[in-house]
Structure 1
Amino acid sequence: MQITVDNPASAPQPLSPYYSQVARIEHPDGSALLFVSGQIAEGATLAEQTRGVFETLTALLKAHGAGLADVVNIRTYLTDISKLDEYGAVRRQFLTGTPPTSMTFEASRLFRPEALVEVEVVAAVPAR
């Protein structure tokens, strides 16, 4: 098993030098698990931020030969759980297949004060 961490040039770079965007665990058969760090995005509304988050997640996964269809687990942190439906409406535009396992939490604040949502995912990449 080989573990590598990555900050793909094709995706937004980390907001801090204290973490990496993706950890990839390679299986000997060529498949891999991707652990993608929590992502936030700019925007005035929860919907705008959620869209930006999923666009960034798409870019990070694509850099490793995966897509949102490969996501097996998603963790969402919302600063206002009463807006779960607003978040869910945007999420469903990006995750169109069988829903992955999921956890959603309300957090009093996130990494950046203006952040309303943060999302992290785990994806399973099939052998090529």
Structure 2
Amino acid sequence: MTSYQDAPLHKFGAYSTVGIGGPGDIVMVAGQLGNDADGAFSPDGVEQVKAAYDNIGVALEAVGLGFADVIGFRTYVVGRETIPEFVAGRDARFGELYPSGVYPPNTLLIVSGLVAEDARVEIEALAVRPAR
């Protein structure tokens, strides 16, 4: 397996942003928070969700993939009250990312907190790298 580090997104611990194997293998994008490149979080949960998808896009692009290669998401939201923010942010991004209306599966988990106190959402992605 090869791991990739992406300094602008890699501010919250000792881990690789993306881990991949050979062609046709699964690509795992570590949970991405809704922060900007400087590590700052918007106080708006919808904006954090949109930023988390943007950060996933940066990680995928770094290994030559895109959202069309994603086969699933796992999402963590802080508190049940943040679910509407997650849905609104996801709907805003998915309209752009998946114009066909066919979306990858997503598992949604409600947690009491994330690694950064201001974080309201963390999203990880699984993708498949096409065989070449």
1:78 paired with 2:77, answer yes
What residue in structure 2 maps to residue 105 of structure 1? 109
Spell out structure 1 runs of 4+ moving beyond 3 A.
none
User: Could you tell me the percent identity over the aligned residues?
Assistant: 30
Contact 1:70 1:124 in 2 (8 A): yes
Paired residue type of 1:78: V
1:92 paired with 2:96, answer no
TM-score (ref. length: structure 1): 0.85
1:54 paired with 2:53, answer yes
Paired residue type of 2:81: S
TM-score (ref. length: structure 2): 0.82
Give 1:83 deviation, angstroms.
3.0
Paired residue type of 2:76: Y
* Between structures 1 and 2, the one with greater helix share: 2
Structure 1 gaps of 5+ residues are none
RMSD over aligned Cα, in angstroms? 1.6
Mapped to 2, the partners of 1:93 and 1:48 lie a distance apart of 10
Contact 1:68 1:94 in 2 (8 A): no
What residue in structure 1 maps to residue 2 of structure 2? 4
Paired residue type of 1:4: T
* Between structures 1 and 2, the one with greater strand share: 1
Aligned length: 121
Alignment of 1:26-37 (within 5 A): 26=22, 30-37=23-30
Paired residue type of 1:81: R
Structure 2 gaps of 5+ residues are 36-40
What residue in structure 2 maps to residue 117 of structure 1? 121
What residue in structure 1 maps to residue 10 of structure 2? 14
After superposition, the C-alpha distances for 1:64-118 in whole angstroms (9 at most, x for unaligned) are 1111121111011111223323212221333324221221011101001111001
What residue in structure 2 maps to residue 126 of structure 1? 130
